[in-house]
Amino acid sequence: MGEPNEPTTKVLSEAQLRAQAKRQEKLARRKVYGDLLVQGTNDSSIVSKRSVERLYGSVIAAANGKKAPEYFKPFVRKPQRRSPVINRGYWIRVQAISRILDEIASKSADGTIIINLGCGYDPLPFERIDNAENVFCIDVDYPELIKNKTHMITSSPEILEIIGPKVSPKHPAIGIQTERYAAVGCDLRDLKLFKEVLSSLGVYESNTTSIFVAEVSLAYMLPEFADPVIAETSAVAKSHFVLLEQIMPAGKDHPFARTMLKHFNKIGTPLGCVSKYHNTELQEQRFRDLGFLFVKSTDLWTSWKETDAKTKHLIETIEGFDEWEEFLLFCQHYVVLHASVSEITEETIPKVFKNENSLQIGALQDDQHVLKKFLAGAAIDENSGDFVLVGGTDTQRTNNANLLTLDKDSDLNIISHKLPARMCHSCVNVGDGEMLLLGGRTAPHKLMSDSWRLKSSKNKIYKWIKDTDMPFPRSRMAVSKVGKDEVLVFGGLEENSSQSAFMVYNIELHEWTPLTCDKKIISREGAAMCLNGNTGIVIGGMVDGAICPTAFSFKYSKNDRKIEVIDHVENVAFARYGSKAIYLADDQTLVIGGVSNDHVLGQTDTVISVSFDLAKTTNRPIPDSFYKECPMLVGNEIFERDNVVYSIGGGAVCFSFGSVWNGLSKFSLKISKSFNWELKSENVFEEKKEQKTHYSERSETSIETVSSITVSSWKNIQRNNIPVLIKTVNLGSCISKWKNPAYLKSKVGQQNVVVHESSDHQLNFQKKNFNYATVPFGDFVDNVFGKSDKKYYLRALNNQEPKEKAAKFVEDFPMLADDFQLPDCFEDVISNQHSSPLRIASPGTSIWLHYDVTANILCQIVGTKKIRLFAPSSVDQLAFPAGASSSTINNIFTEPSNETAYTCTMEPGDILFIPRLWLHATNPEKPSISLNFFWKDLENALYAAGKDVYGNRDIAAYENGRHAVQRVKSLFDNVPEDVREFYLKRLAEEMLK
């Protein structure tokens, strides 16, 4: 028998070897970059936890007779205060893990070893060591991160005192080691090194309880890398594993889950495990399959519910909060799991509900985007398709009213009125073409009692009339018309209020009457109420921070001024907060949306029907085709006409992942008595674009124009401080050369630039409807001058230090500098310039209304551009939030306004003088290139100290004044609302004198 054939080796050419090496190098770079992005998520997390430590720590510690330690302080140089919902979210994250560690430690007489996997800069080990005698802690993370953390530790005397003197590391991967702590630099995908280090530290041989903690760390790894780590930890004697990471209990198509996945994909750190282990059941089975004998899990909402009432109350006193829908959804999208190789107590498995009578639900249609949540509205005329929305919040609370109509020929108008801005209020149709608006709140715990009626004149022009205030402030109450002349109100009172849960308003007599109940009924907030005649039901709601899993039916007696409770039923399907209800035929109520504390309302049970006797509750599942784009039915308003239900507005801030805005959406559900809902595909719902609000005729005036400029005339223009358009100035060869994209690309090349990228032609800074993208200049120019589905806008930044220094055209684009020139009369502009950014925009890219604190000239070089300006005195009429230099108005070129607008169209060679504080917006008609020159024309002492990269930082007096205003407002916190408003108006009048 001959020798076996030897395997042949393919010989690669030099070119093939170079290509192979290049591919391997690229893969290595991509891996390093991905690892850095994952490490970057630690920075955001640690800053949020430091925010919690600063706000909550001292208050809670003082209430327990202790001094609050600051374990996060050495790891966060520049603390930031996070929003209330993020603060609560991170607080409960820390608490959930801490409680499990405390429980394990209490049953471990021989002490514990805590191994913090993917530790980041979290000071968990130092907190545990500082508060327990017999504990050894091991931090594990990327080598570079551990190197940085080691430096922070050695630079902090407080941390060094906690962990004790250093000893010789037992493995080269250990950055620092003491008798009670070790910091290990190890990529967890390197399982061999991981085992080596644990072995060197005696973890495998120890008879001590070992606790592996993974707080949103394994989540970024693919299961093929994460699961072997878990399996390895199950081989350790007396091993416990504590996991906290994202899940998708209602599937990847739930609006919160969609937003969460999009966020992590966008920042380059996709969640690796959530698709495979997307709910608590799969996570539990995962750990059983990987060697753990006993597993129990829950979500963060359960951890919040288990928090004692005293602590909850303390947190409530620290910062106002009532965005329960957003907090609850966040909590329900995080699993808290405890696995062990030894027995632990099992918990009850959540109930699973059967679906009955599946329904077909029509497709969502977005006709206009009214991006508001916690708004309210009602039909203004029961015989027409007219519907009025009022208030709510987008980037701030609003007071505007929007007219919607199903009748395209309607000429209904609403007269503008300065209603106090609000959210979480209620509206109800009261007949005769009138609507009643009730209460709401300005801020958490600042409820409102006012009442307004929208009334019609003979020519169908509507106006707001002040009506009788409610006896007590209410927010998130349920409201319904009862009979011909009364409005029934339930709930919405402040916690522990002694007032009647029900009250009734007589429409004709303008009188409020509290109602008695034959049984004790506690006021609930966020409940849904539905009436049929004088009989009604109330579903869900919240009492003292807990969602009620009950509903009750009742009968209202007008003569006795009494509520008779008919039945009281407990059903987990009723555990809803913020849902909406509409009465249907055959004693059925349709309940839509809200949130549940039992589970995430998803595809099967976001919509349910309830019999009026509360005996039968039926899930009405949403079809797959619709659910993938289904709006988040939270903070929305609904109404029904001709057996079609519409959902308007709503949405939620999805923690730090982004926001869901439903806009003005048609949630078309064709209802028949048998619940066979049909698709209503035609576009029958639209916003009245031209007649949303009745204004006086728009006042516009053309900007003053001059055809020549001298040193003397330029000084006069600046002195007058009024916009002036200077026509056809010689700006150099740029006028002809920059029209050619090829020329620009040849001069600038592929230098990276940061641009605004959006699918919306109306860029809005407040709503952030754009992304910042770093792209090569040449590719950007191709997109601007070519055909692209997206809009692009460049406002050039400083090339070297964009966060520290202002843009300077000559320095940032030296290759183009010789093409541009300014007449000699503008020498003072050049010598005193604060900044000079280059601007390039796609045609039709409208830039938001804003102001600059510095004066500037705008030089148009390529294309034409519409300009719209308003005097500084209009700032309080054009939706500028406090402290912001950008308006919330979506598009000032189309939005109506009573303010006088100064307009012009700039052409190549034109220069526009824009004085300081003049409000302005731009809209290029063609691909546009322009150049700004900003300069400070006030005394230097007036400007705020510190950085001002964009030239729009408000002056020091305003920044200091805002702090003073907050102090003045706080003096009135305990003053009745009407008295408060009276005196604050007087103070405002004094300030303007």
Can you tell me the distance from the alpha carbon of 29 to that of 46, in angstroms, rounded to the nearest whole number?
26
CB 423 within 8 A of CB 400: no
| Whole-angstrom distance, CA of residue 230 vs CA of residue 241 | 8
Supply 434's token pair: 């009138």
DSSP labels, 25-42: HHHHHHHHHHHHHHHHHH
Looking at the structure, tell me whether residues 275 and 380 fall in a common domain. Answer: no
Which tokens hold the place of 318?
A: 């620290």
178 plus 93 within the same structural domain: yes
User: Of the residues 655, 684, 713, which one is the last residue of a structural domain?
Assistant: 684
100 lies in some domain: yes
Which two three-digit tokens encode residue 980?
């408060």
Q: How confident is the model at residue 28 (pLDDT cuts 50, 70, 90)?
A: low
Question: Any idea what the CATH number is for the domain that residue 189 is in?
Answer: 3.40.50.150
Residues 610 and 584 both lie in one domain: yes
Instruction: Let me know how long the chain is.
Output: 993
* b/e code 896-934 from CB counts within 10 Å (16+ = b): bbebebbebebebbbbbbbbbbbbbbbbbeebbbbbbbb
Question: 433 with 290, same domain?
Answer: no
Count other C-beta atoms under 10 Å from residue 884's C-beta. 17
Give the per-residue pLDDT at 11: 60
Q: Binning pLDDT at 50, 70 and 90, where does residue 432 land?
A: confident
Q: Where are the beta strands (DSSP E) in 491-622?
A: 502-506, 511-514, 516-517, 528-532, 535-539, 542-543, 546-547, 550-557, 562-570, 580-583, 588-592, 607-611, 617-619
With respect to residue 149, please indicate whether it lies within any of the assigned structural domains.
yes
Domain membership flag for residue 357: no
Identify whether residues 207 and 281 lie together within a single domain: yes
| pLDDT for res 649 | 82
Q: Is residue 59 part of a domain?
A: no
Q: What is the pLDDT of residues 752-778, one digit of tens each?
A: 999 999 988 888 887 788 888 899 999
For position 565, which CATH number holds?
2.120.10.80
Tokens of 794: 């460049």
How high is the pLDDT of residue 987? 86
Which residues does residue 407 pair with via DSSP β-bridges, in sequence order? Answer: none
Answer yes or no: do 309 and 370 share one domain: no
Percent of the chain scored above 70 by pLDDT? 85
Structural domain includes residue 768: yes
Max Cα distance, the chain (Å) = 114
Are the beta carbons of 730 and 909 closer than 8 angstroms?
Answer: yes
* Strand ranges inside 445-494, DSSP E: 446-456, 461-466, 478-482, 486-490
Query: Which pLDDT tens digit goes with each residue over 468-515?
Result: 999 999 999 999 999 999 999 999 977 667 788 999 999 999 999 999
The answer to whether position 54 is within a domain reads no
Give me the DSSP letters along 350-366.
Answer: PP-----S----PPEEE
Question: Do 586 and 512 fall into the same domain?
Answer: yes
Q: Which residue has the tokens 């007949």?
A: 431
- Shared domain for 718 and 674, answered yes or no, is no
Indicate the pLDDT class of residue 672, thresholds 50, 70 and 90.
very low
How large is the C-alpha radius of gyration of the chain?
32
**Residues with Cβ within 8 Å of residue 844, at least 6 apart in sequence:** 761, 791, 923, 924, 925
Q: Is residue 30 part of a domain?
A: no
Reported as a pLDDT band with limits 50, 70 and 90, residue 525 is very high
Query: Considering only CA atoms, which of 662, 664, 634 is closest in space to residue 404?
Result: 664
Look at residue 682 in the predicted model and tell me its pLDDT. Answer: 30
Are both 816 and 861 inside the same structural domain? Answer: yes
- 384 and 273 in a common domain: no
Please say if the pLDDT value at position 251 is more than 60: yes
Res 723 pLDDT > 50: yes
**What's the total number of domains in the chain?**
3
Q: Quick one: 538 and 659 in the same domain?
A: yes
Greatest mean pLDDT among 10-14, 180-184, 365-369, 795-799: 180-184
Choice between 366 and 580, residue whose per-residue pLDDT is larger:
580
Q: What pLDDT was estimated at residue 12?
A: 62
State yes or no: pLDDT of 32 exceeds 70. Answer: no
Q: Looking at 210-254, list the stretches that DSSP marks H as alpha helix, in order from N- to C-terminal side.
A: 223-233
- Does some domain include residue 565? yes
Q: Give the 3-state secondary structure of residue 965.
A: helix
pLDDT at 75 over 60: yes
Determine the angle formed by the axes of helices 223-233 and 280-289, rounding to 10 degrees: 60
Closest CA to 57 of 311, 308, 305: 311
Indicate the DSSP class of residue 819: T
Return the closest-CA partner of residue 54 out of 244, 319, 301. 319
Q: What is the DSSP letter of 601?
A: -
Regarding whether 704 and 643 lie in a shared domain, the answer is no
C-alpha 981, offset from chain centre: 30
Residue span of the structural domain in which 273 resides: 89-340
Q: Going by C-beta distance under 8 Å and a sequence separation of 6 or more, which residues neighbour residue 974?
A: none
pLDDT at 939: 87
Which CATH number characterizes residue 825's domain? 2.60.120.650
Q: How far is CA 872 from CA 722, 856, 869, 880, 900, in A?
A: 11, 15, 9, 11, 11
